[in-house]
Amino acid sequence: MIATASGARALWYLTRATGLVSILLLTASVALGITEATRWARPHIPRFVIAALHKNISLLVVAFLAVHIATAVADNFAPIGWLDVVVPFHSPYRPLWLGLGTVAFDLLLALIITSLLRARLGYRIWRAIHWISYACFPVALLHGLGTGSDTRVRWSLLLTIGCLALVLFTVWWRLWTARGTPVVRRTWGGLGAALVVWLILGWTFTGPDAPGWARRAGTPASLIAGASIQPTGSLNLRVPFNARLTGTVRNHSTAGNRVTVSISASLSGGALGAMRLTLEGAPLRDGGMRLGRGTATLGTTSQPFRYTGTVVGLDGTAIRARVHDATGHAITLAVSVNIDPSAGTLTGTVSARAATN
């Protein structure tokens, strides 16, 4: 099914929202797991309650991650495929930081599966594997900070710092109460955990929280558009304009002999911005397609859905679309593209005019 313009926006919001909920739940799961290991309990909070919460919250993380991952793949703004969900560092979109999400997800799956098979595996093997939960949390956190659109949003950054602080506190508490372990080992453990937190915070403020991160993180040039040139996020899309296009094209065959073409392109020259077109229709013998329906968005990386609308015409390599902003101000786009099918890239031009009706 083709995503509508508002559907595409909904997918992007869902990826972000479920990513944030997943990291909050993962934090709760790790903190409860550590609490369980300290054997802490109160008369009104017995240990079995903490164990049940730990187990159920861990399963809930997987449920939220399923939505997070499915929406990240379905939203075709960034080139993320199903292989990227299990094979790390494979996607051309922010490969390292997205790859860390894949690693965290793989680790989490290993933790959950071995916990469900705990009786069969035996306590020693299960416990040895469960140690990787200490790696899963910071790896997932680095993924969220390095990939997320909300890293520079203050409340989101504060939430992430809160997650780090809670896990650090519970690790220290675990070490403090581990009376059977030599003091030297506990001290080094506590210092090591503090060092990891300090390094993550230092990297956050000089990396994802600093200008230019989208480019340094490995965002494909076709998606960056004018955002880094215009750090305030303001658009340089003063209508009318004529601009050059460079970008990527993806073709998917869908059920019932339908084909969907997704175009992501950046605008330069007469305007700075990013444009996405999704066209769905029936394939033609000459390699073209008869348009059934299509959606169009125009904006920047920070505001990719500033204008949304529909594709209203397709004639060979000429595409016409009509988009409008939140105030209802409508513009028509006349797009002309040259596609290199083997490389999956395109160049072209776009002219924008105020819509007359």
Among 3, 28, 33, 143, contact with ligand HEM (rule: CB under 6 A): 143
Is residue 65 part of the contact set for ligand HEM (CB under 6 A)? yes
Is residue 15 part of the contact set for ligand HEM (CB under 6 A)? yes
Window 326-345: contact mask with ligand HEM (x via CB under 6 A) = --------------------
The answer for 271, left when phi > 0, alpha when psi is -120 to 50, beta otherwise, is: beta
Is residue 226 part of the contact set for ligand HEM (CB under 6 A)? no
| Burial class of residue 79 (count of CB atoms within 10 Å of its CB; 0-12, 13-18, 19+) | middle
Contact 352, 332 (CB under 8 A): yes
Among 57, 76, 84, 275, contact with ligand HEM (rule: CB under 6 A): 84
- CA–CA dist 339, 288 (Å, integer): 11
Q: Which one of 101-109, 180-188, 250-258, 284-292 is the stretch in contact with ligand HEM (CB under 6 A)?
A: 101-109
Q: Which is nearer to ligand HEM, 50 or 145 (CB)?
A: 145
Query: From the CB of 153, what's the least distance to ligand HEM, in Å?
Result: 8
Is residue 276 part of the contact set for ligand HEM (CB under 6 A)? no
Contact 134, 116 (CB under 8 A): no
Contact 161, 201 (CB under 8 A): yes
Q: How far is CA 289 from the centre of its chain?
A: 31
Is residue 20 part of the contact set for ligand HEM (CB under 6 A)? yes
Q: Which is nearer to ligand HEM, 41 or 70 (CB)?
A: 70
Is residue 22 part of the contact set for ligand HEM (CB under 6 A)? yes
The pairing of beta strand 273-283 with beta strand 345-354: unpaired
Is residue 69 part of the contact set for ligand HEM (CB under 6 A)? yes
Q: Which one of 20-28, 29-37, 246-254, 325-333 is the stretch in contact with ligand HEM (CB under 6 A)?
A: 20-28
- CA–CA dist 170, 197 (Å, integer): 13
Q: Residue 329 half-sphere exposure, CB side, CA atoms within 13 Å?
A: 13
Burial annotation 313-324 (CB, 10 A radius, 16+ → b, else e): ebeeeebbbbbe
Please report, as ranges, the residues that interact with ligand HEM according to CB under 6 A. 15-16, 19-20, 22-23, 26, 65, 68-69, 72, 78, 80, 84-85, 98, 101-102, 104-105, 108, 140, 143-144, 147-151, 156
